[in-house]
A and B are shown apart, each in its own frame.
Chain A
Amino acid sequence: MAFDKMELRDIEVWDGNFAAAQAMRQCQIDVVAAYPITPSTPIVEGYAKFLADGYVEGEFVMVESEHAAMSGCIGAAAAGGRVATATSSQGFALMVETLYQASGMRLPIVLNVVNRALAAPLNVNGDHSDMYLGRDSGWIQFDAYCPQDAYDLNFIAFRVAEDHDVRLPAMVHQDGFMTSHTAQGVHTMDDDTAYSFVGDFKPMNDMLDFEHPVTHGVQTEEDWHFEHKARQHNDLMTKVFPKIEAAFDDFEKLTGRRYNLVEKYDLDDADVAVVCMGTSVETAREVAKEMREKGIKAGVLGLRVIRPFPFFQIQEALKDVKAIAALDRSSPNGAPGMLFNELAGCLFNTDTKAMLSGYVYGLGGRDLTKKHLTDLYTELQANVDAGKITTPLQQFIGVRGPKLAFL
């Protein structure tokens, strides 16, 4: 069965889901095993239509659950080929067992995660609860802020994950609805250029090499388990960043589009900074610009890579900032937010005297408005002016009823 190439315009109007589906098509994936769930469903539907129209040569297996989707992906990846899928929220939660198995077995699967809240109460809209749930699973996690990023980061994810020095699965996150269903102009690559960036899949320890049978997924107890986990962590900490940076460099040469481990906006002389992820980064940049017009030296730090956590890059980016806000879009449920904690861990042993406060926002798709961010920057500036934190350490933005604040 031959497959056809697709003619694309230089700029297409795509939402994040379709951008991801197009990237998957252009990477010529061998096996996609998937299960639909809002808001990632259109990725799977888009891919199915490409198959039906003869633009895909690989196998497409519509399984009976997300757990089976990742299980099929693991079997396919161990067999030796390029593998990807997509999911959100509850589906992601159902996959969690297999996420650890995929990374522990060092299988380079790419998972598009369209971020959505976790029930209960049931909610289909975007927040980062599912993304946070995956943060200890041993996967590389890329974060897209817009459909263009969702498209580009898929290629980078395959390139890094499949590198034989890495061999770890990678997630590409995008915000449910805000990115996944919002159409924007997306600069495209033609099919040949796009494929050339990821290149042919190079199998390793593949079950389908019958001259070299392999055993995947063994048992290790107290005698070896720790060594396996430590090595996986070691590779995440030491081997992945250079590969991601090389991929970012090559991608810039190919397309002119530049990605960084952390995306800095007006941080060079900033007094106050917001650190956030997803679509909020773009909103924060716009507000930071407006704050500058009002005389507040505001900046934004967006995380492009969440795992491995860009510890030193964040230290460097925030070293001269006086007041920092960590924006967590997931309920911490009894603790400071994950981003707050990670930033505190980053900055603690440095010379910075920066004040760090945390904000929980946007749960279940609640809007983060420019007004919210203007108020937030104003609070940070007040901290700078007072020389101490003037608010509680943990505040909730945009929640109904009396203002919620803790710590």
Chain B
Amino acid sequence: MSEMKKIKNLKEFSTSADRFEGANLLCPGCAHSIIVREVLNATNDDLVLSASTGCLEVCTAVYPYTSWDASWIHIGFENGSTAVAGAEAMYNALKRKGRLKQPDRNPKFVSFAGDGASYDIGFQWISGCMERGHNIMHVVLDNEVYANTGGQRSSSTPIGSSSTTAPAGRVSYGEKKNKKDMVAIMASHGIPYSAQVAPNKWKDMVKKIQHGMAVDGPVFINAVSPCTTEWKFDPKDTMMLTDLATDSLVFPLYEIIDGHELNITYRPKNVVPVEEYLAAQGRFKHLFKDEYKYLIKEWQERVDANWAYLNRREEARV
């Protein structure tokens, strides 16, 4: 049986023995490492992990070093999900054939990938893994940009943000397209569990990860990962930014069970205006010019509409 950690408080959680070393090359203030530790710390079971090409990968496995004290593989940008799916297939084969070296273990197969590697280039591979029902978990470290290559737009990049390939300029406010709703798309595969998480709400996150690891079948997790470099905020403010993201409902926290049963898992006591979330980041700085203020209003309307939609789905149990 799967072994889940009992975690009482944040201090215990933060000092818990983990299989992702602090010795890595990620930027100070990067949320990736916080999310990865929270995911790995949710279980004592053995792990088979992958990372798609991206910040996490290039910062944690530069030969001859590794930050991973668990089996880990990187193949390419688009196929991290399929890498662990292949490993999971091998596990099933060897289990059936009685050739596992440690047959009493109950390993978890987890792939980590950025939004570029998930929403864009790896989309087909993830969809294939979800459709085929592999017993794997795919975790998106969603920083809404190709951060590793210097801040190019992805299909997760939100309207109005300035990136190097959709920059704000004399005649442009930056990104023109709405962010792709990946959680809904993945849930539409009918997978047993999909959820949106945030590292500041670590209890919610651990609960969801443990739920995902307990179910039989593919799991999709979208984790908001504020990027100090590309969102342009002070590295010490990562958690403050994450609080703004969840409390403004720009990143609502919810889960979808079996593709249809939606539960909102966090309701902020005081909902923060979206404007405060935008104002805290350099990538939206230009929106505060007079000619673009209408975009901030539209942002708020979109977030409100999405929150109302999630609430309606929760009520209707669809």
Contacts and interface: CB of A to CB of B under 8 A. Distances in A.
Contacts of B217: none
Contacts, number: 166
Given A76-B86, A208-B48, A97 B76 contact: yes
Interface stretch (B5-13, B100-108, B235-243): B100-108
A31 B92 CA distance: 9
A207 B48 contact: yes
Contacts of A213: 19, 68-72
A4 B83 CA distance: 30
Contact of A65 (B58, B99, B100, B124): B124
A30 B82 contact: no
A220 B62 CA distance: 6
- Contact residues of B: prevailing secondary structure: mixed
Residue among B48, B90, B128 having the largest count of chain A Cβ atoms under 10 Å: B90
> Which size class do B's interface residues fall under?
35 or more
B169 interface: no
Nearest to A221: B62
Contacts of A57: 93, 96-97
A218 B66 contact: yes
A215 interface: yes
A81 B82 contact: no
A211 B102 contact: yes
B89 A61 contact: yes
A375 B131 CA distance: 56
Contacts of A83: 90
Contacts of B128: 63-65, 68
B66 A217 contact: no
A386 interface: no
A403 B262 CA distance: 70
Interface string B125-154: 101100110000000000000000000000
Contacts of A74: 73, 75, 83, 86
Given A207-B71, A216-B73, A218-B66, A79 B132 contact: no
B116 to A, nearest CB: 16
A64 B124 CA distance: 8
A168 to B, nearest CB: 17
A218 B62 contact: yes
A71 interface: yes
Nearest to B97: A57
A339 B112 CA distance: 43
A224 B19 CA distance: 26
Nearest to B82: A71
B162 interface: no
Given A63-B82, A210-B71, A218 B94 contact: no
B101 A211 contact: yes
Given A30-B97, A61-B85, A72-B89, A67 B79 contact: yes
Interface in A82-120: 83, 97-98, 101, 105
B255 interface: no
A219 B63 contact: yes
A217 B85 contact: no
Interface of A: 1, 30-31, 33, 57-59, 61-65, 67-68, 71-81, 83, 97-98, 101, 105, 203, 206-211, 213-221, 224, 228
18 contacts: A62-B132, A63-B82, A65-B124, A67-B79, A68-B128, A71-B83, A79-B91, A208-B48, A208-B107, A209-B102, A210-B71, A213-B68, A216-B72, A217-B75, A218-B62, A218-B66, A218-B74, A220-B63
Given A71-B83, A81-B90, 14 more contacts: A33-B89, A64-B127, A71-B86, A73-B86, A75-B89, A79-B91, A81-B99, A83-B90, A206-B101, A208-B71, A208-B100, A213-B68, A219-B58, A219-B63
